[in-house]
Structure 1
Amino acid sequence: MKVIKYLILFFLPAVTANAQNIMTSSPYSMFGLGEIVTGLYGSNSAMGGVSTGMRDAWLINTENPAGLTGLDTLRLFAETSAFLKSESYRSKSGSSHAFTGNVSAFSLAGRIIPRWYMAAGLTPYSSVGYYFQSTQPLEGSPDSYYTSIFEGYGGLSKVYLTNAFMLTKNLSVGVNVSYIFGNTKLTESQSDISVENRMYTHNFYADFGLQYHRQLNRDASFTVGAVYGYKQRLKLENSIAITYSSNETEQSKKNTTQYLPQYFGVGGSLAYKKWTYALDYSLHQYSCLSSGDSRVKFKDSHELKMGISYFPDGYTSGSYWKRITYKAGVDLSTPYMQINGQTGYSYRVSAGMGLPVMNGRINAAFYYDRTQLKNNVFGREAFGVTVSYTLSELFYKLKL
């Protein structure tokens, strides 16, 4: 327990402090709830992020909370994740490049009593982060120009408590109860005048999962699962701060409404000898979001994830290289944002390894991410790496 206690004391303040920090540099994160954070944490990032039909003795699966019942019953687990990425954005008006990195998630998990498992943690939900300038002619003075600076930061975070129950030997159910909170600041500056729009929101939320797992024989097993999250209203409390010559005045603004979109997904995995194959499909109904700009609209997003892993030797007596898990995956989706009526495609390819270390495992993933809308309205490319460290300690003396 001492090792996990020190891990909590070291990483939890860092995750809490960074929960609202910049995790993106997209100029379009100013719309809606910001850029939705996906694929930046978890031990299955290298497998395309598959989760709905995944379960393992070392997998803290809160994307499908029912998968938590696959954990080793004699261990307490702690996991933290971090990422680094290089992003490039292109549009008809220009291009930009940025480098970002952060601690992205933290979680604790374990069995409470027979058939009851729990997890708790903190993860990002969305992120806002951008900076750009716009130069325009001054009205009435054709040869004069003024420059506006636009910048924003913040986002939403999610604190969750997961409960999973093994109803039978094969069937498990689970629920995530979450508290969604966060604030964003969007600023427009001209000369010595600055207008800052501040927004804050918070609400409770829940999503649900189901898994059926069956051992076919000594070398093969399969798992199928489903997840569901309902549409949740978010009230954004708005205020405007106007700064002129170092003097600031603040005034309230009419509250606005956004939503956490409804979603559902199905998936499955097949483990055969040293190989695991997984496939997920999900639909997120982002069309309920409002951008506040007639040029930008949100639409429902379909997503297909495929992953594969290879584990040469599951015995601790084997050589170190045979105890490494090799992983790869693909994530295909339709972008949830439509700009000037143009849609497009989005995909991510990833590969990585799970490395055994003392009292735990390190899962590292390298990925390439691309989103492209038609007619070159918008394009995004990202190269990145995610690292998750899962630490476990035997807890058998206190198990019931």
Structure 2
Amino acid sequence: MFILIGFLQIEAQNSNSLSSSPYSLYGLGLENPLSTGKNDGLGYAGLAMTSAHSLNLLNPASLGGINQHRLFYNIGFKLENKYLEQNRDNENITSGNFSNLALGMAINERSGIALSLMPKTDVGYEVSGLYSPIEGSSELFETEAEGNGGLNNFMLSYGYALNDKLKFGVNASLLFGEITETQFNYIQSNILYIADENDYSGFRFGAGLQYDLSKSISLGFTAKTPVSLSGSQTRTISQYYDNDEIVAGIVEENEVDNFDLPLELGFGLQLKLLDGFDVLADYKRHFWSTTNQSDALGQFTDQDFFNL
């Protein structure tokens, strides 16, 4: 995997990627915050909310509260518009894509199950205007790069109500996907083209708890295990003249370093203030520093998420 930064112009890629952000060049892309519809409408909060009236995939314990006579399904689509500005350059970028597909139902009066597919990370960027010296010469060559793709999360979740107040849940995820990165190097009248197709996959497990302190106060807790995603790479290298003649073409199968996802912990609170009026607040922390990972842009550091 390669990462280039162009100080003259960094822009998003206008594509069918779920992301159109230049920040998606970090790691394996931007984390997708989207879940099912009601959680998305509540600021991505809901670790303490049950699945009694809508499907909640943020905490598998919520499935222990599914009504025995209900079947939930959710299909999501995301449309996003970004305004980007750097120096005197600016542009509007619009992107849209599928965001989730989920199905959940009760097994009996105390347990429920759900199956879902949604993006885990999203990549969609372009980098241009990067100039580097030609070795052994005073001349410069220009580089353009772009990336797209991301990881998908295919997840099976199960929740069980231990009693009227305490619910417990577990989930298992298959993470998989491809990130394509292309690089164009303009050297005088020649173009050196490098395309990397990086495939990653791995399994991840999680667990959650929900506890009702009273009829108006509920607490939630979630944990996701660290995982090392295995990777492989197919690299294509070609060189072109002005007349588009290919003078060299090489295809290589390479191994790439595993990418480590960190331990993730989350805490949630739900306050039922009035009939039909709730307040939800979540806090999540991703412990990236424990992975000891770094790339050309620096060290990976911990992330904190606040949702209200």
Taking structure 2 as the reference length, the TM-score comes to 0.83
Indicate the residue corresponding to 1:262 in structure 2.
Answer: 263
- Contact preservation (8 Å) 2:176, 2:202: yes
Q: Residues of 2 paired with 1:124 and 1:113: CA distance? A: 30
One-letter amino acid matched to 1:105 = N
Q: Pick the aligned partner of 2:284 from 268, 279, 282.
A: 282
Residue deviations 1:190-211 (CA, integer Å, cap 9, x gap): 2432111221111111111101
Residue deviations 1:50-76 (CA, integer Å, cap 9, x gap): 111112422211111111223222011
- Contact preservation (8 Å) 2:81, 2:95: yes
The Cα shift of 1:135 comes to 4.6
Q: Residues of 2 paired with 1:22 and 1:101: CA distance? A: 7
Residue identity over aligned pairs, in percent, reads 26
Question: Partner of 2:104: helix, strand, or coil?
Answer: strand
The Cα shift of 1:91 comes to 5.4
Q: Pick the aligned partner of 2:73 from 58, 78, 81.
A: 78
- Contact preservation (8 Å) 2:36, 2:56: no
Indicate the residue corresponding to 1:196 in structure 2.
Answer: 195
Indicate the residue corresponding to 1:233 in structure 2.
Answer: 228
1:211-360 equivalent positions in 2, closer than 5 A: 211-213=210-212, 216=215, 221-245=216-240, 246=246, 248-271=249-272, 272-287=274-289, 288=291, 290-293=293-296, 295-306=297-308
Question: Partner of 1:43: helix, strand, or coil?
Answer: helix
Q: Residues of 2 paired with 1:90 and 1:259: CA distance? A: 32
More helix, by proportion: 1
- Contact preservation (8 Å) 1:136, 1:147: yes
Question: Partner of 1:168: helix, strand, or coil?
Answer: coil
Q: Residues of 2 paired with 1:283 and 1:224: CA distance? A: 17
Instruction: Structure 1 unaligned segments of length 5 or more: list them.
Output: 1-19, 307-400
Residue deviations 1:87-135 (CA, integer Å, cap 9, x gap): 2345579655421111100000010123120000101100111113125
Question: Partner of 1:67: helix, strand, or coil?
Answer: helix
Question: Partner of 2:46: helix, strand, or coil?
Answer: coil
Residue deviations 1:302-323 (CA, integer Å, cap 9, x gap): 22211xxxxxxxxxxxxxxxxx
The Cα shift of 1:160 comes to 0.6
Q: Residues of 2 paired with 1:277 and 1:175: CA distance? A: 25
Question: Partner of 2:163: helix, strand, or coil?
Answer: coil
Report the number of matched residues: 281
Q: Residues of 1 paired with 2:88 and 2:60: CA distance? A: 43
Question: Partner of 2:54: helix, strand, or coil?
Answer: coil
